Amino acid sequence: MSGSATIRRGKRPRGSVQPKRRRQARKPSLLSRTAALVPVAPETVQRATTWVVVTAVTGVGIAIAFALGLPGMAGTALAEVTGKAGFEVDRVEVTGINRMDRLTVYAIALDQKSRAMPLVDLQRVRGELMQYGWIADARVSRRLPDTLVVDVVERSPAAVWQNQGRLALVDRGGVVLEDVSLSALPDLPLVIGPGANGQIASLESLLEAVPRIRPVLAGATWIGGRRWDLRFQSGETLALPEGDLAAKKALDRFATLDGSDRLLGRGFLRFDMRDPTRLVVRVDRNPKPIDAVQSDGAAAPVPAPTQAPREAPAPPDGGQLLRTSQTT
């Protein structure tokens, strides 16, 4: 035998198993621990988180686009795509219009560079509508998918204003609504002279204080920016004093005198009550014949003056003093 020996290593016994290392459990993240404290389903929290991230990224993208000057073209292209998908103006619904021409409103609403609903300029439409006298207020809105809604608050005519040969409908505040022809005058008070349209409220207050005058009134002229001359259907003119209170007292006194002495329809030309202590009457030197008086006792009406008369002082001797009374 030789001196060398071979040592054979045997296999490990089958029964001996090497122990595996235990993996350490991962600690939950701060976001997970926070979500566990919220009484909401984890899926909901995850979706909300995703939306927050997407919104933040979108905001950053929009900011970059604005910095580069690109949002105009991109936004317009997106709006046009939206319009082609069916969201474009196909109908205009108008409410509140009674006197103004509806076609004008339709034309303004549809005058758009693009009919795509996102590109309709609502403020521009409202601004153009507000330039028309009839419209006191307007609201323009979209009703998807294809309707533009225009809600209008319309002014009401209160009088006809005659100034420098022009006749126009005006509201109580004096806003000119539209021109009107002499052949189509409505049954409204006629106010004459520069600035008379701005005094309609005071005239209405005057007539409301003495309602007996309204049925026989033909028109009123604003004199010198201070006071009224009233013209009656029977042709006479009544000069009232300045000031609302003084004018109401004078008109009430005149109505009382007319009720007792029948001043209107007797051929007088002018009654002057600017002096509160007396009534001065100017008489027609060429009185009308009896057959020129209407069946109701009033003289035939005369045409409206084309110009506002100038202010004249109370006639010291050019008129006839009908009655003198002390103020009360």
Q: Tell whether the model's pLDDT for residue 138 goes beyond 90.
A: yes
Cβ atoms of 274 and 239 closer than 8 Å: yes
Q: Tell whether the model's pLDDT for residue 176 goes beyond 70.
A: yes
Q: Tell whether the model's pLDDT for residue 133 goes beyond 50.
A: yes
H-type alpha helices, the chain: 30-37, 42-68, 71-84, 102-110, 122-129, 200-209, 244-261
State the pLDDT at residue 37. Answer: 61
State the pLDDT at residue 303. Answer: 46
φ, ψ dihedrals at 117, nearest 5°:
-55, -40
Cβ atoms of 211 and 234 closer than 8 Å: no
Question: If you average pLDDT over residues 138-152, what whole number do you get?
Answer: 90
Which range, of 44-48, 165-169, 217-221, averages the lowest pLDDT? 44-48
Which is more confidently placed, 308 or 130? Answer: 130
State the pLDDT at residue 304. Answer: 46
Cα–Cα dist 88/262, whole Å: 69
Which is more confidently placed, 146 or 252? Answer: 252
Cα–Cα dist 206/214, whole Å: 10
Which is more confidently placed, 199 or 143? Answer: 199
Split at pLDDT 50, 70, 90, the class of 78 is: very low
* Cis geometry, peptide bond prior to residue 42 (ω within 30 degrees of 0): no
| SS3 category, 98 | coil
Hunting for tokens 């984890």 — which residue is that? 42
Cβ atoms of 224 and 210 closer than 8 Å: no
Which range, of 15-24, 43-52, 196-205, 208-217, averages the lowest pLDDT? 15-24
Q: Tell whether the model's pLDDT for residue 32 goes beyond 70.
A: no
Cα–Cα dist 158/256, whole Å: 27
State the pLDDT at residue 193. Answer: 95
Strands 190-192 and 159-163: parallel
Split at pLDDT 50, 70, 90, the class of 79 is: very low
Which residue ranges make up each domain of the chain?
A: 41-83, 86-154, 159-324
CA 157 to chain centre: 14
Which of 213, 251, 233, 246 shows the shortest CA–CA distance to 301? 233
Hunting for tokens 């009088």 — which residue is that? 159
Residue 38 gets which letter from DSSP? Answer: S
Sheet strand arrangement including 91-95: 91-95, 147-154, 135-143
Question: If you average pLDDT over residues 75-81, what whole number do you get?
Answer: 45
Concatenated DSSP letters of 275-295: STTEEEEEEPSSPPPGGGB-T
Cα–Cα dist 291/148, whole Å: 63
* Contacts (Cβ under 8 Å, ≥6 apart) of 309: 221, 223, 229
Question: If you average pLDDT over residues 235-256, what whole number do you get?
Answer: 96
The single-letter code of the amino acid at 61 is G
Question: If you average pLDDT over residues 134-160, what whole number do you get?
Answer: 92
271-281 per-position pLDDT tens digit: 999 998 999 99
Which is more confidently placed, 142 or 320? Answer: 142
State the pLDDT at residue 113. Answer: 79
Give the chain's largest Cα–Cα span.
179
CATH of domain 159-324: 3.40.50.11690
State the pLDDT at residue 14. Answer: 58
Q: Tell whether the model's pLDDT for residue 120 goes beyond 90.
A: no
Q: Does this chain's domain 86-154 share its CATH topology with 159-324?
A: no
Q: Tell whether the model's pLDDT for residue 104 goes beyond 60.
A: yes
Residue 273, token pair as written in the block: 């009550």
Q: Tell whether the model's pLDDT for residue 313 goes beyond 90.
A: no
From residue 298, give the alpha-carbon distance in Å to each of 208, 210, 229, 286, 326. 23, 20, 20, 17, 30
Q: Tell whether the model's pLDDT for residue 169 goes beyond 80.
A: yes
CB atoms within 10 A of CB 322: 16
* End-to-end CA separation in angstroms for the chain: 166
Return the CATH superfamily for domain 86-154. Answer: membrane protein fhac (3.10.20.310)
Q: Cα–Cα–Cα angle for 221, 244, 228, nearest 5°?
A: 10
Which of 229, 215, 249, 236 shows the shortest CA–CA distance to 308? 229
Split at pLDDT 50, 70, 90, the class of 184 is: confident
